[in-house]
């Protein structure tokens, strides 16, 4: 029925994002506002991380070695505090969107 389809669609959409619970488990910090560093391996084709900077606003170091991130645009525009970004062996094909990371050194 329609309600079941809506629920399945909602669950599928939620599965496309890193949950707060997952971020807390990865960082070991209950308050994501205190997190400064995150190490994660993801496939940006399957998992959206564009809101990461809103959910972890003080993130300054992001290590995504071995991830599948073909473009800096996949990271979105919310990582305004990010200073260090690791993308070794990530399949990065273009740095389009790098201007959205103004603090990157």
pLDDT (tens digit, 9 = 90+) per residue, 33-67?
999 999 999 998 888 888 899 999 999 999 999 99
Contact 42, 18 (CB under 8 A): yes
The set of residues, in sequence order, having a beta carbon less than 8 Å from that of 34 and lying 6+ positions away, is 58
Q: In which domain, by residue range, is 95 found?
A: 2-100
How many CB atoms are closer than 10 A to CB 67? 21
Q: d(Cα 40, Cα 69) in Å, to the nearest integer?
A: 12
70 inside domain: yes
- DSSP codes of every residue in 55-100: HSTT--EEE-TT-B--BGGGG-S--TT--EEE-TTS---B-TTGGG
Quote the pLDDT of residue 2. 52
Number of domains present in the structure of the chain: 1
Model confidence band, residue 89 (pLDDT cutoffs 50, 70, 90): very high
105 inside domain: no
- pTM of the shown model: 0.82
């Amino acid at each position: 029925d329609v309600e079941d389809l809506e629920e399945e669609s909602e669950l599928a959409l939620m599965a496309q994002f890193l949950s707060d619970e997952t971020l807390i488990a990865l960082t070991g910090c209950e308050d994501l506002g205190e997190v400064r560093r995150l190490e994660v391996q993801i496939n940006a084709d399957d998992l959206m991380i564009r809101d990461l900077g809103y959910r972890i606003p003080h993130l300054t170091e992001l290590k995504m070695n071995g991830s599948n991130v073909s473009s800096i645009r996949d990271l979105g525009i919310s990582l305004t505090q990010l200073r260090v970004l690791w993308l070794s062996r990530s399949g990065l094909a273009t740095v389009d969107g790098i201007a959205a990371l103004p603090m990157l050194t």
